Amino acid sequence: MSGIHSLTVAEKTILNIGFDDTDSPSGMCTTFLAYKMVGELSGQDAEFLDFPRLVRFNPNIPWKTRGNGAVSIRLQTGDPSGIKRRVRRMISRYSDTKNGANPGLVFLEGGRIPKQFAEFGSMALWRLVRRGDAKKFARQNGLDHTWMGNGQGLVGAIGAIGYDFGDHTLELLSYRRRSRFGTRRDLSAESVRAMQKITAPDTFSSFDTRKGRVMIAPRGPDPVFYGVRGEDVAPLLRATEILRTSEKLDGHMIFKSNQGTGDHLRNKLDPGMSPYSSGTITGSVSAAPRILRGGHVMFAVLSGGHEFWCAVYKPTGMTSVAAGLIPGDRIRAGGGVRRASKRFPRVVNLEFIRVILPARETRISNPPCKSCGKKMKSKGRNQGFECVKCGRRHPAKVRATVRRKVKRRLYLPDVSAHRHLTRPLQRMGRTNTARFDGSPGWFCVYEK
Ligand SMILES: [Zn+2]
């Protein structure tokens, strides 16, 4: 019996398919291609072993397409070459190479993902990985791969297969019918607010209640109608029932993602501050904040004997916190490195500030009267101070502790300034353990 069993196992191949950079600023979208691909492969000899994975990479790379997200699909098939043929055809058909897409496609057979893939994936999360490095990786590992344009998409294609999820979230992306691409999205803001109220904290970052802004609908020609982020399948499907639109949608697919995990900020920033790298620093504020034109705030942090310049941009909503810091404040902060400008060296563009220990701030002022509590008046140079009410005297000014506005806590940007990877407040300390169980609902093409 065991002989027959191993024979049937040997007939099936686990196939990992990674692709990226099929989209361009004028439309198309790598996740939409994934949706089409799952639709086509569903009719073939293919059993999906996981949600399609939507992996967001280093958000601080300047030439990223909109979200810098790549997709990988893991399936089991008795016909790997047939599946590969279909996938290749779809990549070349759907990729927007005319408008600047630089697709990369990688196939990896086998259930175990070699260690170097995971390493490549985590590197692409916080560093600048050049396409040359990806091409070299593909050659050295004898990968079955293809690329078009300049091949930048190979970085994400390899990374998406290798990405090692510690924590993860899910995102349900709904897609428009082709005839509606580029038209205005009619999505009831009130229904988004209601959906968040009902499904959070099992969904997150759908509606910015402070600004009254819908966070789930992209703008522009994107085929995505909305994307709801959450922890598990059930609350996401529930969300689709609550959201209201008059538009007939094409369908939806649920992706497993590193969105909302903050995983790009797990590593420490190196003192060299390689341009476009992401990470965190822990240290003491060494140069007092200054407010720049436009309301942005700059200050410096001394960490491990190196001074890191930090910038907090106005749209983050964290500028008043940054402006309230003083030298000596112990903080942990994270973000991406920006290139040097004429006026400033390389700066870390901050995505969070955690105040670990606020410094004691003191101010020298006229002494208060111990009887009346009123501030005393100066009697003139070197003449001491006197209370105007009761005449009590004090020889000199005093130093008093000032109440700090900055508190010992974590400060995050406004929800509407969050990036895909930002870990929102409600996900702090949370690790998602929901697994793919193949139950229906994660992929659905709606009836005409
Ligand atoms: Zn007095």
> What is the 405 CA–ligand 1 centroid distance (Å)?
29
Q: What does 78-106 look like in DSSP terms, one character per residue?
A: S-HHHHHHHHHHHHHHH--GGGT---EEE
Residue 1's pLDDT band (cuts 50, 70, 90): very low
> What is the 38 CA–ligand 1 centroid distance (Å)?
81
SS3 8: helix
Q: What does 152-204 look like in DSSP terms, one character per residue?
A: THHHHHHHHHH---SS-EEEEEEEE-GGGTTSPP---HHHHHHHHHHHTTSEE
> What is the 309 CA–ligand 1 centroid distance (Å)?
47
70 neighbors 30 (Cβ within 8 angstroms): yes
In percent, the amount of the chain with pLDDT more than 70 equals 95
Position 27 scores a pLDDT of: 63
> What is the 389 CA–ligand 1 centroid distance (Å)?
5
177 neighbors 248 (Cβ within 8 angstroms): yes
> What is the 75 CA–ligand 1 centroid distance (Å)?
82
Position 249 scores a pLDDT of: 97
Position 68 scores a pLDDT of: 65
Residue 3's pLDDT band (cuts 50, 70, 90): very low
pLDDT reading at 131 higher than 70: yes
Domains of the chain: 2-162 (3.30.70.2200), 169-262+428-445 (3.90.600.20), 263-360+403-420 (2.40.50.1010), 362-401 (no CATH)
Over residues 325-349, the pLDDT tens digits come to: 999 999 999 999 988 888 778 999 9
> What is the 386 CA–ligand 1 centroid distance (Å)?
8
Cβ-Cβ contacts under 8 Å for 341 (sequence gap 6 or more): none
> What is the 393 CA–ligand 1 centroid distance (Å)?
8
> What is the 361 CA–ligand 1 centroid distance (Å)?
26
What totals of helices (H) and strands (E) does the chain contain, helices first? 9, 24
Position 64 scores a pLDDT of: 57
> What is the 388 CA–ligand 1 centroid distance (Å)?
7
> Cα 116 vs. chain centroid, distance in angstroms?
23
Cα–Cα distances in angstroms (integers) from residue 311 to residues 91, 164, 273, 343, in the given order = 40, 31, 14, 13
- The more confidently predicted of residues 35 and 220 is 35
> What is the 442 CA–ligand 1 centroid distance (Å)?
74
> What is the 368 CA–ligand 1 centroid distance (Å)?
8
Q: Which of 38, 137, 150 is nearest to 94 (CA)?
A: 38
> What is the 391 CA–ligand 1 centroid distance (Å)?
6
The dihedral built from the CA positions of residue 232, 234, 235 and 240, taken in this order, carries a sign that is positive
Segment 210-237 shows an average pLDDT of: 93
Please list the helix, strand and coil fractions of the chain in percent, rounded to the nearest 5, in that order.
25, 30, 45
Q: Which residue bears the tokens 């990479």?
A: 57
Position 275 scores a pLDDT of: 87
> What is the 360 CA–ligand 1 centroid distance (Å)?
28
> What is the 390 CA–ligand 1 centroid distance (Å)?
4
Over residues 407-435, the pLDDT tens digits come to: 999 999 998 888 899 999 999 999 998 89
> What is the 404 CA–ligand 1 centroid distance (Å)?
27
The tokens for 1 are 């019996």
> What is the 385 CA–ligand 1 centroid distance (Å)?
11
Q: Return mean pLDDT, the chain.
A: 92
